């Protein structure tokens, strides 16, 4: 009976945020919302608009680890706001679900992916938060202010992990080899043996678990979804020969007339960086993968409000490791993307990410 009760309790815990998102956040697409005709009808060109907005929860996880890395540069694991990051994931998923479902239905595979990573993230940070604020905090107290070699390794590796996630899925991170490096490169000698031993045990358990779980997830993702398409099509306006020289990632497919050029580029962070560079040189965007609206996030100083031409603010997130900055999620018309980038940067904002489809 205890096992059954435990399973029922686990099922309830898993169901609550999902039922909340489905019941309180999802709406029905308006009959008046129609997708405009695409400028290109090539096979593989079109992508779902919803994928831009619903890719942010994945990036919330990236930013959470980035924030944790920032906290570890100057503090301890117990200083990190684990609970706030968990709440932030589900809260932002709710907000973006409301935006997306007013325009179109969310594909089932997208929902399954989001709820799976959401609960993986919740469980991981929940357990980590409990551990670091009990056993971890005790070993920090026994150690004192000066970090051990183990602490230094974890802080450094967390920065590398956060940077890795900007372009590559988490399950491809070499946890096994990094764990081997941890044991080979971290000296046994030194003060604060209780902390050194506790860190060795906790890091070994965490990295070994992630290595095994990552292998399973990687295999399942490839088997069920196939290899992810790492490129995307965009119709730029105003490109010239100098852009191809300066941006070798730009692969021109063909000219469309009227100053518009269909190009193929990498996705993810590389795409954001490329679009921002082109916008600074006065280039604009007509369409991305058949879509006319897109989500971007920007970092702005606390207390300031940059100009937001042609945008709608969807959410705001505090950044623990950078208390002087906050993250804004903006809904932007694609044809205004270049203008918006230039106006935001002129107003002191930093373009963090453009969420491709």
Structure confidence by residue, pLDDT tens digits, 182-203 = 999 999 888 999 999 999 999 9
CB 247 within 8 A of CB 270: no
**DSSP-assigned letter for residue 38:** P
Give 2's pLDDT tier (boundaries 50, 70, 90): low
Question: What is the three-class DSSP state of 332?
Answer: strand
- Please give the average per-residue pLDDT across 301-306, as a whole number: 82
Q: Is 308 helix (H, G, I), strand (E, B) or coil?
A: coil
Query: Rounded to an integer, what distance in angstroms lies between the CA atom of residue 217 and that of residue 129?
Result: 23
**Residue 6 in this model has a pLDDT that exceeds 60:** no
Chain Cα centroid distance, residue 321: 17
Specify whether the CB–CB gap between 171 and 217 falls below 8 A: yes
pLDDT at 12: 62
Return the sign of the alpha-carbon dihedral for residues 98, 99, 100, 104: positive
Closest by CA position to 302, among listed 289, 282, 287, 319: 319
Least confident span in 54-58, 65-69, 109-113, 315-319: 109-113
DSSP state of 170: G
Strand boundaries in the chain, DSSP class E = 231-237, 251-257, 260-266, 284-288, 293-301, 311-318, 325-333, 350-355
Q: How far apart are CA 57 and CA 321, in angstroms?
A: 19
The encoded tokens of residue 40 equal 């290109």
pTM (2 d.p.): 0.89
Q: Is the pLDDT of residue 324 over 90?
A: yes
Rounded CA-CA distance 220/225 in Å is 8
Q: Are 181 and 227 in contact (CB under 8 A)?
A: no
Cα–Cα distances in Å, from 216 out to 38, 109, 110, 187? 38, 18, 19, 32
pLDDT over threshold 70, residue 258: yes
Q: Count Cβ atoms within 10 A of the Cβ of residue 5 and give its class: 0-12 exposed, 13-18 middle, 19 or more buried.
A: exposed
Q: What is the mean pLDDT of residues 80-94?
A: 97
pLDDT tens track for 325-350: 999 999 999 999 999 999 999 989 99
Query: Is the model's pLDDT at 33 over the cut of 70?
Result: no
Handedness of CA 127, 131, 134, 137 (dihedral sign): negative
Terminal C-alpha separation, the chain = 46
The pLDDT, as a whole number, for residue 11 is 60
pLDDT above 90 for 96: yes
Helix (H, G, I), strand (E, B) or coil at 100: helix
Q: How high is the pLDDT of residue 36?
A: 78
Mean pLDDT of 24-46: 83
Q: Which residues pair with 331 in a beta bridge?
A: 295, 312
Overall residue count recorded for the chain in this entry = 357
**Highest mean predicted confidence (pLDDT) among 39-43, 102-106, 201-205:** 201-205
Q: Which two tokens stand for residue 172?
A: 């491809």
Which is more confident, 218 or 256?
256
What are the tens digits of pLDDT across the range 119-176? 999 999 999 999 999 999 999 999 999 999 999 999 999 999 999 999 888 999 999 9
């Amino acid at each position: 009976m205890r096992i059954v009760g435990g399973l029922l309790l686990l099922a309830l815990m898993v169901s609550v945020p999902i039922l909340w998102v489905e019941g309180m956040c999802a709406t029905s697409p308006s009959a008046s919302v129609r997708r405009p005709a695409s400028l290109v009808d090539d096979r593989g060109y079109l992508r779902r608009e919803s994928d831009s907005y619903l890719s942010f929860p994945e990036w919330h996880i990236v930013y959470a680890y980035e924030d944790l890395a920032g906290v570890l540069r100057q503090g301890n694991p117990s200083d990190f706001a684990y609970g706030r990051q968990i709440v932030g994931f589900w809260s932002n998923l709710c907000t973006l679900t409301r935006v997306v479902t007013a325009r179109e239905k969310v594909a089932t595979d997208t929902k399954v992916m989001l709820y799976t990573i959401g609960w993986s993230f919740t469980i991981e940070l929940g357990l980590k938060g409990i551990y670091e604020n009990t056993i971890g905090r005790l070993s920090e107290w026994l150690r004192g202010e000066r970090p051990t070699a183990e602490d230094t390794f974890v802080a450094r590796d967390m920065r590398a992990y956060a940077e890795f996630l900007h372009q590559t899925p988490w399950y491809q991170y070499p946890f096994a080899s990094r764990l081997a490096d941890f044991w080979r490169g971290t000296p046994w000698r030194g003060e604060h043996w209780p902390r050194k031993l506790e860190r060795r045990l906790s890091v070994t358990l965490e990295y070994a678990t992630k290595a095994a779980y990552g292998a399973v997830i990687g295999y399942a993702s490839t088997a069920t979804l196939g290899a992810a398409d790492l490129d995307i099509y965009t119709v730029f306006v105003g490109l010239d020969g100098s852009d191809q020289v300066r941006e070798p990632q730009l692969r021109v497919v063909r000219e469309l007339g009227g100053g518009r050029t269909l190009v193929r580029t990498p996705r993810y962070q590389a795409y954001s960086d490329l679009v921002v560079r082109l916008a600074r040189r006065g280039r604009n965007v007509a369409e991305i993968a058949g879509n006319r609206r897109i989500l971007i996030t920007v970092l702005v100083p606390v207390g300031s409000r940059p100009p937001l031409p042609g945008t709608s603010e969807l959410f705001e997130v505090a950044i623990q490791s950078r208390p002087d900055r906050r993250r804004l999620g903006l809904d932007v018309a694609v044809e205004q993307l270049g203008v918006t980038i230039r106006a935001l940067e002129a107003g002191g904002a930093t373009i963090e990410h453009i969420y491709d489809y």
